[in-house]
Amino acid sequence: MNATLFATLVAIVKKDLLIEWRTRARLSALVFFSVAALLMFSFALGADIQTMRDHAGGYLWLGLLFASVLALSEAFRVEAENRALEAVLLTPADARAVYLGKALANALLLLLLGALLVPMMLVLYDVGLDGPLHALRLLAVVALGVFAISAPGTLLAAISTNAKSKDLLLPVLLFPLLVPVLLAAVKATALVIAGDPMGDAFTWLSLLVAFNVVYWALGFLLFPSVVDE
Partner 1 sequence: MSAESTKRPLGQWLVLGTGVTLLGLGEYLGLFWAPPEMAMGDVMRIIYVHVPSGWLALVAFLSTAIFSGLYLRTKTPRYDHIADASAKTGTVFNAMSLATGMIWAKPTWGVWWSWDPRLSFTLIMFLLYVAYSALRRFVDDTESRARWAAVYGIFASVSLPLVYYSANWFRSLHQPHSTPQTVDASMKLPLRINAFAFLFLMIWFIWRRYELLRADAAHESTPPPA
| Residue partners of 16: CB distance under 8 A and separation at least 6 | 75, 101, 102, 105, 106, 109
Q: Which of 163, 195, 200, 202 binds partner 1 (CB under 8 A)?
A: 163
- Could you say whether residue 44 binds partner 1 (CB under 8 A)? no
Is position 215 an interface residue for partner 1 (rule: CB under 8 A)?
A: yes
Binder of partner 1 out of 92, 131, 176, 197 (CB under 8 A): 176
Q: According to the binding rule CB under 8 A, does residue 58 interact with partner 1?
A: no
Size of the site for partner 1 (CB under 8 A): 24
What is the DSSP secondary structure assignment for residue 81, as one 8-state letter? Answer: G
Nearest to 97 by CA among 157, 9, 12: 9
213 binds partner 1 (CB under 8 A): no
> Hey, how many other C-beta atoms are within 10 angstroms of the C-beta on 174?
21
Nearest by Cα to 64 from 136, 125, 143: 143
**Interaction of residue 225 with partner 1, rule CB under 8 A:** yes
Q: Can you give the C-alpha Rg of the chain in angstroms?
A: 18
Site residues (CB under 8 A) for partner 1? 152, 155-156, 159-160, 162-165, 169, 172-173, 175-177, 179-180, 214-215, 218, 222, 225-226, 228
